[in-house]
Structure 1
């Protein structure tokens, strides 16, 4: 009898936790488990204006060979975006028409982007190739994260703004 009560309690707890997680997910809450931005609970906030440089956003990466390789290497987590990717949390560093130069760091319209040094190898010694730079095409965004090992547009280049989900707002986060 006691074992049955424990099983019922555990099953009930699992149902309640699942229901809370589903409700949070449908309201735009997401867990960030990558170090590019603080770890913890975030919310996707609808963007009520055009996206701007400096906006911290959630964005689904496109289904391309570059992102498939990034997923294979473990740079991206599994999620509900097309291709099975989790949305990225990145800062918009440049918009369509802006010029991006990539040397040992990133320059946008001639101005150096802080914390934008490039790595030639990832943490496992695999080669990393930088994006060649150039003008950001129409309907594309150049994304950046100040985290030194971040996988961002320094390596994959500008990506379509059609994947933009909204602004990224921290709810309960911490830096490890």
Structure 2
């Protein structure tokens, strides 16, 4: 009886070993394939959830283009410091955002939303609270801003999107690459429901 249990245990061990080896190999293979294809996974609902392909230099910058952007420094942006403190996003992970305005353009930020050159951006109302009213959200000062040389205004259409409405314009040097949706879940940027 004991010998039979030992044999079963050995067989179970080898089955588990080969299953785990196969899973690790599969994950590593997918990771290498994504790297080769220049794909990144966006799990934030600022933009639709899914895979985005990164395509070299984003310059010259244009309104409406999706880009991969480096997180602004928390030392200069209270909203970014708050987001890192409450783990709303991981430190150091680039974001996928849309360029809403480039140098020379005028942006007006109000509680009701963002206007660029007189046109209101969809779903850009500035939120006061996180989902469930757990934390009050710091936002950029309301007002009108004329973007200077080297500044861009970032926008994301999703519910509770974290964009320049909260941390203001960012330096063009923070734009890393152009991003193109490769496979995304339509409407996933609205999965988080808006509160009152």
TM-score by length of 1: 0.83
Matched, 1:29 2:51: no
Structure 2 counterparts to residues 6-17 of structure 1, below 5 A? 6=15, 7-17=17-27
Shift in Å at residue 150 of structure 1? 0.4
Pick closer, same or farther for the CA change 1:87–1:109 going to 2, 3 Å: same
Cα contact 1:75–1:151 (8 A) shared by 2: no
Give unpaired runs (5+ residues) of structure 2.
Answer: 1-9, 189-196
Count of residue pairs the alignment pairs up = 170
Matched, 1:146 2:157: yes
Give unpaired runs (5+ residues) of structure 1.
Answer: 79-83
Structure 2 counterparts to residues 104-143 of structure 1, below 5 A? 104=111, 105-123=113-131, 124-132=134-142, 133-143=144-154
Root-mean-square deviation over aligned CA pairs:
2.1
SS in 1 for 2:50: strand
Cα contact 2:140–2:167 (8 A) shared by 1: yes
* Aligned equivalent of 1:98, options 85, 88, 105: 105
Pick closer, same or farther for the CA change 1:54–1:139 going to 2, 3 Å: same
SS in 1 for 2:179: strand
Pick closer, same or farther for the CA change 1:127–1:94 going to 2, 3 Å: same
Partners of 2:128 and 2:184 in 1: how far apart? 30
Matched, 1:87 2:94: yes
Partners of 2:106 and 2:119 in 1: how far apart? 10
Shift in Å at residue 54 of structure 1? 0.7
Deviations 1:103-122 (A, max 9, x none): 22111223322222112222
Q: Which residue of 1 aligns with 2:194?
A: none
Pick closer, same or farther for the CA change 1:44–1:64 going to 2, 3 Å: same
Partners of 1:17 and 1:127 in 2: how far apart? 37
TM-score by length of 2: 0.76
Q: Which has the higher helix share?
A: 2
Larger of the two Rg values belongs to structure = 2
Cα contact 1:96–1:138 (8 A) shared by 2: yes
* Aligned equivalent of 2:14, options 2, 5, 14: 5
